[in-house]
Chain A
Amino acid sequence: MKKFRTCFIIYSKRLFLKPLFVFTLLLLPISVLFLQNCQAKTDAVIQVALYAPDKTSDPITKKLLEEMISLSNTAVTFYKTPSEQKLRQDVSDGKAACGYIFPENLEKNLKVYADKKEPYIVAVRAEDDMRTRIVDEIVLSRLYHPVSFHILSSFIEKKTKNTPDMELLTESFQKYSSDELLFQFEYANGDNNTFLNDSQANYMLLPIRGVISVMILLSCMAGGLLWYSDANNALFSMDSRKRQLCSLFSLLLPGLYASLAGLFTMKITGILEKPANELLSMLFFLSASLSLIHFLHTVLPKKELFLAAIPVIIIGSLLLCPIFISLQTIAPALSSFSCIFPSTWYLTSLHDKRDLLCLFLYSCILFTAAFCYKKLFRHFR
Chain B
Amino acid sequence: MKTWKQYILLETKRMLKSLPGVCLGSLLLTACLIGIFTLFQLNSSRQESKSSPVDIGIVAKKDEPFIDWMITTAEKIDNAKYTCRFQRLEEKAADAKLKSGKIDMVFLIPENYIASIINGENKHLTIRFGNSQSTIVSFLFRELSHAASAFILDTEAGIYSMQEYYEKHRLPDKAEDELDLNLQYIKEIVSLEKGIQTEEIATEDTTPLFQQYLVSALVLFLFFRGLACSKILAVQNRAFQDKLAQKGIGYPQQILARGIAFFITALASYLFLFILAGTIMAVSPLSIPNTICTTVRGVWEFAFRCIPILLLSTSFIQLAYEITEDSMGGILFLFFSILAMGLCSGCFYPRSYLPQALQAAAPLFPVWQACRYGLSALQGSFHAPSFLYMAGCLALCFFFMALRRRYCAHIQTHI
Question: Within the complex, what minimum Cβ distance (angstroms) separates B134 from chain A?
Answer: 5
Q: Which residues of B contact A331 (CB under 8 A)?
A: 36, 39-40, 43
Question: Within the complex, what minimum Cβ distance (angstroms) separates A360 from chain B?
Answer: 16
Q: Which residues of B contact A237 (CB under 8 A)?
A: none
Question: Within the complex, what minimum Cβ distance (angstroms) separates B53 from chain A?
Answer: 8
At the interface, is chain A mostly helix, strand, loop or mixed? helix
Tell me which of A2-10, A50-58, A349-357, A361-369 binds B: A349-357
Q: Which residues of A contact B230 (CB under 8 A)?
A: 225, 307
Q: Which residues of A contact B54 (CB under 8 A)?
A: 130
Residue B160 CB within 8 A of the other chain: yes
Q: Which residues of B contact A323 (CB under 8 A)?
A: 133
B146 pairs with A122, CB closer than 8 A? no
Residue A156 CB within 8 A of the other chain: yes
Chain A stretch 172-198: residues in CB contact (< 8 A) with chain B:
172-173, 175-189, 193, 195-196
When chains A and B are docked, how far (Å) is the Cα of A308 from the Cα of B140?
A: 39
Residue B396 CB within 8 A of the other chain: no
A328 pairs with B158, CB closer than 8 A? no
Residue B285 CB within 8 A of the other chain: no
When chains A and B are docked, how far (Å) is the Cα of A95 from the Cα of B23?
A: 41
Q: Which residues of B contact A151 (CB under 8 A)?
A: 158, 181, 184-185, 188
Tell me which of A210-218, A285-293, A373-381 binds B: A210-218
B126, B332, B339 — most chain A CB neighbours (10 Å): B332
Contact A326-B228, Cβ < 8 Å, known A21-B329, A125-B198: no
When chains A and B are docked, how far (Å) is the Cα of A304 from the Cα of B16?
A: 12
At the interface, is chain B mostly helix, strand, loop or mixed? helix
Residue B280 CB within 8 A of the other chain: no
A92 pairs with B204, CB closer than 8 A? yes
Q: Which residues of B contact A199 (CB under 8 A)?
A: 142, 146
Residue B149 CB within 8 A of the other chain: yes
Residue A235 CB within 8 A of the other chain: no
Contact A122-B153, Cβ < 8 Å, known A203-B139, A331-B36: no
When chains A and B are docked, how far (Å) is the Cα of A144 from the Cα of B155?
A: 9
Contact A329-B326, Cβ < 8 Å, known A39-B355, A144-B154, A155-B184: no
Contact A38-B357, Cβ < 8 Å, known A119-B195, A219-B332, A311-B29: yes
Of A28, A76, A182, A188, the residue contacting B130 (CB under 8 A) is A188
A188 pairs with B180, CB closer than 8 A? no
B193, B204, B352 — most chain A CB neighbours (10 Å): B352
Of A76, A188, A304, A316, the residue contacting B99 (CB under 8 A) is A188
B200 pairs with A125, CB closer than 8 A? yes
B135 pairs with A322, CB closer than 8 A? yes
- Mask, A141-164, CB within 8 Å of B = 1, is 111110111011001100110001
Residue A330 CB within 8 A of the other chain: yes
Of B104, B136, B198, the residue contacting A45 (CB under 8 A) is B136
Task: Closest A residue to B44 by CB, please name it.
Answer: A330
A185 pairs with B353, CB closer than 8 A? no
Task: Closest B residue to A21 by CB, please name it.
Answer: B329
Of A123, A211, A254, the residue contacting B328 (CB under 8 A) is A254
Task: Closest A residue to B223 by CB, please name it.
Answer: A311
Residue B362 CB within 8 A of the other chain: no
B199 pairs with A122, CB closer than 8 A? yes
Question: Within the complex, what minimum Cβ distance (angstroms) separates A72 from chain B?
Answer: 11
A24 pairs with B336, CB closer than 8 A? yes
Q: Which residues of A contact B75 (CB under 8 A)?
A: none
Residue A117 CB within 8 A of the other chain: yes
Tell me which of B164-172, B288-296, B300-308 binds A: B164-172
B201 pairs with A141, CB closer than 8 A? no
Residue A280 CB within 8 A of the other chain: no
Contact A183-B125, Cβ < 8 Å, known A24-B333, A134-B144, A196-B138: yes
Residue B276 CB within 8 A of the other chain: no
Task: Closest A residue to B32 by CB, please name it.
Answer: A316
A184 pairs with B227, CB closer than 8 A? no
Q: Which residues of B contact A203 (CB under 8 A)?
A: 136, 139, 353
Residue B284 CB within 8 A of the other chain: no
B32 pairs with A319, CB closer than 8 A? yes
When chains A and B are docked, how far (Å) is the Cα of A326 from the Cα of B163?
A: 48
Residue B299 CB within 8 A of the other chain: no
Question: Within the complex, what minimum Cβ distance (angstroms) separates A39 from chain B?
Answer: 4
Question: Within the complex, what minimum Cβ distance (angstroms) separates B80 from chain A?
Answer: 8
Q: Size band of the B side of the interface? A: 35 or more
Of A124, A147, A175, A335, the residue contacting B201 (CB under 8 A) is A124
B32 pairs with A312, CB closer than 8 A? yes
Residue B61 CB within 8 A of the other chain: no
Residue B387 CB within 8 A of the other chain: no
Chain B stretch 159-195: residues in CB contact (< 8 A) with chain A:
160-162, 164-165, 168-169, 171, 173, 177, 180-181, 184-185, 188-189, 191-195
Residue B62 CB within 8 A of the other chain: no
Question: Within the complex, what minimum Cβ distance (angstroms) separates A96 from chain B?
Answer: 9
Q: Which residues of B contact A179 (CB under 8 A)?
A: 150, 153
When chains A and B are docked, how far (Å) is the Cα of A337 from the Cα of B36?
A: 11
Task: Closest B residue to A144 by CB, please name it.
Answer: B154
Q: Which residues of B contact A184 (CB under 8 A)?
A: 124-127
Of A131, A160, A176, the residue contacting B140 (CB under 8 A) is A131
Chain B stretch 37-61: residues in CB contact (< 8 A) with chain A:
39-40, 43, 50-55
Question: Within the complex, what minimum Cβ distance (angstroms) separates A21 from chain B?
Answer: 6
Question: Within the complex, what minimum Cβ distance (angstroms) separates B217 from chain A?
Answer: 8
When chains A and B are docked, how far (Å) is the Cα of A201 from the Cα of B140?
A: 12
Contact A40-B356, Cβ < 8 Å, known A182-B149, A329-B52: yes
A18 pairs with B198, CB closer than 8 A? no
Residue B79 CB within 8 A of the other chain: yes
Contact A304-B231, Cβ < 8 Å, known A188-B95, A322-B135: yes
- Mask, A107-125, CB within 8 Å of B = 1, is 0000001000101111111
B126 pairs with A129, CB closer than 8 A? no
Question: Within the complex, what minimum Cβ distance (angstroms) separates A128 from chain B?
Answer: 7
| Complex A-B: 23 CB contacts under 8 Å | A19-B329, A20-B329, A23-B329, A39-B355, A75-B142, A140-B192, A141-B151, A142-B150, A144-B154, A151-B181, A152-B161, A155-B177, A159-B177, A169-B165, A176-B156, A182-B125, A183-B124, A188-B128, A307-B25, A307-B230, A311-B226, A315-B32, A351-B131
Listed from nearest, the 3 A-B pairs whose CB atoms lie closest are A328-B101, A20-B329, A308-B25
A184-B124, A186-B126 known; 6 new pairs, CB 8 Å cut-off, are A20-B324, A43-B354, A151-B185, A172-B161, A185-B126, A196-B139
B: residues with CB less than 8 A from A are: 18, 20-26, 28-29, 32-33, 35-36, 39-40, 43, 50-55, 79, 82-83, 95, 98-102, 104, 122, 124-158, 160-162, 164-165, 168-169, 171, 173, 177, 180-181, 184-185, 188-189, 191-205, 217, 220-221, 224-231, 324, 326-333, 335-336, 339-340, 348-349, 352-358
